[in-house]
Amino acid sequence: MNHWINMNRRPVMDDFPQLLTIEEAARRLRVHPSTVDRERRRGHLNCTTIGSRVFFTREQLIDYINNQSRTQCRNTDSLSTPTTGW
């Protein structure tokens, strides 16, 4: 008997990371799926592959966002400020 295996516990879906498709990742990043695929092919966005299928984890998307360069927003007079209470 293997003592390192807990025979009374079955794996549950919470034990596995949620895998997102290119389309699902694009929705979460609010970009077009081709942008996600391009960033993946350039090596800027890590992915997980199973066979020929490409997936992304939440952590991979967060790492991608954190690695993006941040630019300061410019305050220009030519742009109007929204009046929706922001």
Taking residue 57's Cβ as centre, other Cβ atoms within 10 Å add up to 17
State the DSSP string of 3-43: TTS-TT----GGGSPPPB-HHHHHHHHTS-HHHHHHHHHTT
pLDDT for residue 83: 57
Three-state DSSP class for residue 55: strand
Q: What is the pLDDT of residues 52-68, one digit of tens each?
A: 999 999 999 999 999 98
Look at 4-8, 25-29, 44-48 and tell me which has the smallest mean pLDDT. 4-8
Higher-confidence position of 56 and 8: 56
pTM for the model stands at 0.65
Give the mean pLDDT of the chain.
82
